[in-house]
Every structure is written in structure tokens, then in C-alpha cells.
């Protein structure tokens, strides 16, 4: 569920499909937007259980490519800088074909 929430948040922020987009967000705000406040003081858990798997899944199964950099104050992570772009048409067609082979046509209409 958190993976989908991150995808929807990224998609809402990156609505101009033709341009790369970067934005910074504080860790507290991201946890609030994803409704996972239990992780706001435990970045290591948030990173391994939410952020890393979500970005891998989004990059594998969606039209977006996401990279991120951690924003630190000393040793503490206080935010994340996301860099987003849209995959080219051929990559997107491969992903759609892969999703159609996994799911039936009705389920893939969401993508």
C-alpha cells in the first residue's frame, strides 16, 4: 500500500511527462503524506521497508524512473531529493507487455 501511495504522490508531482523533474521533501512530510508516521524517527526502517522497495517497484513496473538522494544534517537524514523522468516509449511498451502477461486486461487498465 505504501508503494502505491509513493507512486501516486510522485505521479502527481511529475505531471509534465516530457521534462525531468526534481524536488526535495522533508522526511517528516513524506512520512505524513504516505501515512507512515511510525517511521518518521526511524529512517533506517523507513528506507529498507518502504522507500527502497517502492522505488525499485516503481522503476520496474511504471512509466517513471526515480532516483533519490538523501539530505543529511550531520549524520541524520532529514529529507530526500527525488529526481524523476519518464521512460521512453519503447521501454513503456515493454513494461505494458510484461504487465499484460502477468495480469489480465482488466487489471492492466490502471497502468
pTM, rounded to two decimals: 0.76
pLDDT, one tens digit per residue, over 44-97 is 999 999 999 999 999 988 888 999 999 999 999 999 999 998 888 777 777 777
* Structure-block grid coordinates of residue 13: 508531482
**Rounded Cα gap, residues 19 and 50, in angstroms:** 26
In this model, does residue 22 exceed pLDDT 50?
A: yes
Strand partners of residue 68? 82
- Mean pLDDT score, 10-36: 85
In this model, does residue 111 exceed pLDDT 50?
A: no
Average pLDDT, the chain: 84
- Which H or E element spans position 84? strand 76-86
- Mean pLDDT score, 1-15: 78
Amino acid at each position: 500500500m505504501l508503494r502505491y501511495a509513493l507512486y501516486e504522490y510522485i505521479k502527481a508531482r511529475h505531471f509534465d511527462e516530457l521534462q525531468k523533474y526534481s524536488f526535495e521533501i522533508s522526511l517528516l512530510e513524506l512520512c505524513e503524506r504516505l501515512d507512515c508516521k511510525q517511521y518518521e524517527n526511524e529512517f533506517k526502517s523507513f528506507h529498507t521497508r518502504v522507500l527502497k522497495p517502492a522505488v525499485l517497484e516503481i522503476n520496474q513496473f511504471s512509466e517513471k524512473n526515480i532516483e533519490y538522494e538523501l539530505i543529511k544534517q550531520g549524520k541524520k537524514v532529514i529529507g530526500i531529493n527525488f529526481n524523476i523522468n519518464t521512460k521512453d516509449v519503447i521501454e513503456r511498451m515493454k513494461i505494458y507487455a510484461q504487465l499484460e502477461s502477468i495480469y489480465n486486461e482488466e487489471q492492466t487498465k490502471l497502468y
